[in-house]
Chains A and B, each alone.
Chain A
C-alpha cells in the first residue's frame, strides 16, 4: 500500500518505567509484588470532577456511566500515598535527573519551572482518580526521523489484578513519557522510531527491563479519517501491524460512511420495547433479559456486519460503546438469525420497529437503566458512522486489532497537582548533566576496542549485562572472558535450572578476578558459579571443584600422557596436539587454563619428535 498517498500520519508516545530507588511521589521501593503477599485490602468509589476551568472531561464522563467499586491490594512495600491517604512527597529528584538526561540526549530544552499536573483517570487504576504527570522538556528529535514534542515524567498506574481489583505495588513507579510529533509516514517507520527510542532509554542504564516495563501508545490518522490513539502496545514487533490494521479500519469506515450517505441512511432514535417477542426464545441471553430494546438504523443493512478489521465489524464498534453501560454486547440483524435467535423472531422484530429490508435493527438486552444507556450509546456510534472515523482512544487486542476505550481526552482532564510545588531546573544543573553513551555507539566501540564481531558487540551493548561487563573490563577482566561468562555461561546455567538470580554482581566479579589472578582456570567458571549460586562460598567452591594444581605436577602429568601415547604422537606429529589437549583437560577438570596446557604439550611433543 502507498501509505504516503493515503496520507498516513503517525506519532508515538513511549512510556518507560524508570529504575529508581524510590517511587515518584513517595519513598516506597519500586518493586513488584505477588498478590498473595498483600497485607491489606480496601475499596473505593471514584467520580468525575471539574477541572480548574470548570469543565468535566469527556473521557472521564464516559467512564462514569456505571458506578463502579474498585478494590485495592496493599503491601508492606506500599504506603498511605498509594492508598490516597497522604499527600504526595516532593517529586523524586532521581527520576527527574533521568528524565532530563533523556531530554538532553534528544536535544530537547527543559522547562525552567516544571509543574506537576493531575490527569483525570477514573477507570480505577489510580486510587486518587488521577495520574500525576509533569511536562519536563520540549522540542527534541531522534535521527530515526521524528521530532520529539515533549518529555514528561508520570507516575505508573496500579496493575489490574482482575475486573475492578487493582494491585498497588506498581502505582507510583516513575515513568518517562516521550511523545513524538506525527512525523511518521509508514508502519515500518513507526516501528523504527519506537525501536530507536527504546535504545535511547536503555542507554541510560537506569530504566526497568522486562515485559510490561515499556509501553507504546500510537497516534494514527489518514487523510479523511481522524486521530485515533491506541493504548498499550507492548511488543515492538506488533507496532507496524497495529498501524496497518488501523489504517485499514479507517479506510473501511470511510467507505461505509460514503455508502451510508449514498443510501440516505439515518438513525431513528426511538427504541421499541420488544421484550414480549422473545418470551419463548431459545437465546439464553435474550430469555433472561429483563428488557429488550430494538433500534432501527435506516439504510444500515449489511454495513453493521461489514468487516473493518480481521474478525471485527462496525457492529463490534457499536458493541464497544454499549459495553460502557455495563451490557455484555449487542445483537444486530446483519448477523441474525443466529445465537438461538430464529428467522421468525428477526422478522417479528423488524415488523415491530417498521424496518425496511435496507435497515439494520440493533437489539440491546439488560435492565431498563443499562439497556437505555446502551441504546443511546449505539445511536451515538451510528451517528458517528455517518461522519466516518470518530476520534477515539482505543485499546490493543490480540494480534494488532483494537477496540474502543473512550473518547480522546481533552485539556479538561488536566488540572494542577496542588500538593506538589513546582520544580525548578537551573541552567547549571542542566549544563552539568552527564549524557550517557548510546548503546549503538557502545556496540561500535566494543567491536573496535575488543575485536568482537558486530553481532556480539550489539548483543552485549543491548543486554542487561552490559553495565556489569563494563565494570568487569574496568576491573581488569579480559573482555572475551567477561562477555562469554555474562552472555553465555550464566544463560546456560539458568537453562540448567541453576538459581542464577542468587549470583550478585560482586560474586561474579570475584570469580572472574580469580581467573585473572591465576587462581582458577576459566574452564572451571561454570562449575564454580553453579556452586556459588547453590550457596557455597567462592573459596570452598574453587577448592572442591578445581583444587589448584602445581606447575610441576602439571608438567609431570603432561609428560606421562605424552609418553603413554608415543606411537600416536610420532605418527601424527604436531597434529596430535588437539586430541592430547582433550585428554589432559579431562584429567585436570578445569583446574588449569587451557593455554598453559597447550604450551606444555607443545613443548613435550616437540621434545619427543
Chain B
C-alpha cells in the first residue's frame, strides 16, 4: 500500500496491475480510480493502491515564444471570450474547457499572421452558455475601444451556443465603420478535423474586407469549401453539432469567404466599410424575459414575468398564444411591461390581424415583432428599454429596422 494522496498530475508512477508492471504518468482521480497514462499513450483507471510514485512531475510547461507578426499588414484586433474555437483539453478532468488566450489562437492557426497584424485582448474564458448581458456591454466597449485606437477590423472568438445573441446585442450597441466578425467552431480545436482553422482564416479575411457591420463567419457547408458571412441580427444556430449550423434567417447571407483561396464575395445589401463613424450606445436594460408558448401552457407562467420591463413571446404561427395567456399578457402590458410577439416558426413575419386571437393580442397592447428572430427581438428590447421607457417610442423602435434586424418586405426565394 502506497500513500498516493500527494500525487500531482504529471507525476511519474509505476502500476502493478494484472501481473504487469507498467510505467506511466499520473493524470487525475476519476470515478474512484487513479487515471494513469501508460507509455503506450493509453489512459486506464485502476485502483490507487496499484500505483507507486517514482518521480515528480517535470517543472512548469515550457514558455511559448510570442508569435512573430508582420506590422505592414492591416491591423486587426482579436477579442477572445472563450468557446470551442479556443478550447483545450483539461487533462485533469478530461473535459474540454475554454482556456486559450488570444495569442494561443494565433499559435493554433499559424496562417492568421499572413493575413493581418493582430493585437489581442482576452475579455473572458467562458463557455457561451455562461454569457451575461453585462459581458455583452463589456464586449461592445472593448470593440469600440479597439476601433477607436485604429483596428481595421475586429474578430470576436465566441462559443457558438449563444453567439447569435452576443452578435445581435453588439450590433445594437455599436455603430461600426469596420467589420466586427464573430467566429467560433463546432468541433473542438484539439481535433485535427476542427473547423477552427478554416473559420478563423475566413473570419480574418472578412475582418480586412470591405464589410462595415457586425457579422458571424462560420462554415457554409459540411465541406471545408467556404464560410458564410451572416448579419449579426439575422443569424441563428440551427443545428446542435454540424459545422454549418449557422444560418441567415429571413435574408440571404451577406457574403462568403472561399477556402482555401480566401476570396471574399459581398452581397449588394451588405453595409460597406466606412459607412458610419464609430459610436457606442451601451445602455441595456436586462430586465427583459423571453417565453415560448406551447399548447396548454399555464397562464400563471406569464405571471412570473410581472415586474419585468419587457417580455418577448415566441408564439405559434403568425404570432399567437391561447386566450388564457392573452389575459395575462394584457395585465403585464397594463402594468408597464413592453410585450413583443415573435414566432416560433422563425421564418416569416408576425401578423396579428388575421385571426381573432391575433386581434385580441393587439388589443391587449402586444407589439408585433415583424420578421425578427425571437432572440434578436429580446436583445433589441433590452437595448431599446435602455434608451427609453416611453411605450410609444418603444413600439416605434421595435418595429423599425435599426441594424437590418427586420425587413419591410419579406424576401422570396430563400
Contacts and interface: CB of A to CB of B under 8 A. Distances in A.
B198 A45 contact: yes
Contacts of A374: none
Contacts of B25: 53
Contacts of B190: 49-50, 52, 415
B341 interface: no
A84 B193 contact: yes
Contacts of A149: 20
Interface stretch (B89-97, B154-162, B229-237, B398-406): B89-97
A84 B224 CA distance: 12
A541 interface: no
A52 B89 contact: yes
B192 A122 contact: yes
Interface stretch (B32-40, B269-277, B298-306, B331-339): B32-40
Nearest to B94: A416
Interface stretch (B43-51, B247-255, B360-368, B378-386): B43-51
Contacts of B17: 109, 138
A43 B41 contact: no
Contact of B20 (A114, A119, A138, A418): A138
B45 A112 contact: yes
B89 A418 contact: yes
A112 B46 CA distance: 6
Interface in A407-455: 410-416, 418, 422, 424
Nearest to A135: B42
Interface string A119-162: 11010000111100111011100000000011010000000000
Nearest to A81: B241
Contacts of A128: 187, 191-193
A152 B260 CA distance: 38
Interface string B220-246: 011111000000000000001111000
A5 to B, nearest CB: 29
A354 to B, nearest CB: 37
Given A127-B193, A418-B95, A80 B242 contact: yes
A52 B91 contact: yes
Contacts of A120: 192
A414 B42 contact: yes
Contacts of A111: 44-46
Contacts of B44: 111, 113-115, 135, 138
Contacts of A87: 241
B18 interface: yes
B30 interface: yes
A117 interface: yes
B192 A115 contact: no
A139 B20 contact: yes
A117 B40 CA distance: 11
Nearest to B95: A418
A47 interface: yes
B198 A117 contact: no
B411 interface: no
A80 B241 contact: yes
Interface in A292-307: none
A149 B22 CA distance: 11
B46 to A, nearest CB: 6
A265 to B, nearest CB: 34
B72 interface: no
B109 to A, nearest CB: 10
A113 B41 contact: no
A85 B94 contact: no
Contacts of A114: 44-45
Given A84-B187, A115-B45, A422-B31, A411 B40 contact: yes
A85 B192 contact: no
A469 to B, nearest CB: 36
Contacts, number: 144
Contact of A46 (B61, B192, B222, B223): B192
Contact of A418 (B38, B94, B192, B193): B94
B295 interface: no
A422 B241 contact: no
Given A42-B222, A138-B20, A416 B31 contact: no
B41 A411 contact: yes
Contacts of B191: 49, 84, 118, 128-130
Contact of A117 (B18, B32, B43): B43
A128 B197 CA distance: 14
Contacts of B91: 52-53, 415-416
A54 interface: yes
Given A45-B224, A113-B30, A412 B41 contact: yes
Contacts of B46: 111-113
Nearest to B96: A418
A138 B89 CA distance: 27
A99 B88 CA distance: 31
A42 B187 contact: no
Nearest to B89: A52
B223 A44 contact: yes
B33 A139 contact: no
A599 interface: no
B18 A108 contact: yes
B68 interface: no
A152 B22 CA distance: 16
Given A49-B192, A109-B17, A422 B224 contact: no
A86 interface: yes
A551 B243 CA distance: 75
A83 interface: yes
A244 to B, nearest CB: 28
B241 A130 contact: no
A422 B193 contact: no
A361 interface: no
B320 to A, nearest CB: 34
B19 interface: yes
A48 interface: yes
A46 B191 CA distance: 9
A139 B224 contact: no
A138 B187 CA distance: 33
B18 A138 contact: yes
Nearest to A136: B44
Contacts of B42: 115, 117, 133-135, 150, 152, 414
Contacts of A44: 193, 223-224
B30 to A, nearest CB: 7
A43 B94 contact: no
Contacts of B37: 411, 414
B62 interface: yes
Contacts of A49: 189-192, 194
A138 B18 CA distance: 6
A85 B243 contact: yes
A48 B188 CA distance: 13
Contact of B41 (A42, A80, A117): A117
Interface in A1-58: 42-50, 52-54
B56 to A, nearest CB: 15
> Among the interface residues B44, B62, B189, B190, which one has the most CB atoms of the partner chain A within 10 A?
B44
A410 B41 contact: yes
Interface string B170-194: 0000000000000000111111111
A414 B192 contact: no
Contact of A85 (B38, B47, B242): B242
Interface of B: 17-20, 22, 25, 30-33, 35, 37-47, 61-62, 88-89, 91, 94-96, 186-194, 197-198, 221-225, 240-243, 260
15 contacts: A44-B224, A45-B197, A69-B224, A85-B222, A112-B46, A114-B44, A130-B192, A135-B42, A135-B44, A139-B18, A410-B41, A415-B190, A416-B91, A418-B96, A422-B31
Given A128-B193, A150-B42, A411-B39, 15 more contacts: A43-B225, A49-B194, A60-B192, A80-B241, A84-B193, A85-B187, A108-B18, A112-B46, A113-B35, A117-B41, A129-B193, A411-B41, A414-B41, A414-B42, A415-B190
Report, nearest first, the 7 A-B pairs whose CB atoms are least far apart.
A129-B192, A113-B45, A414-B41, A109-B18, A411-B41, A52-B91, A139-B18
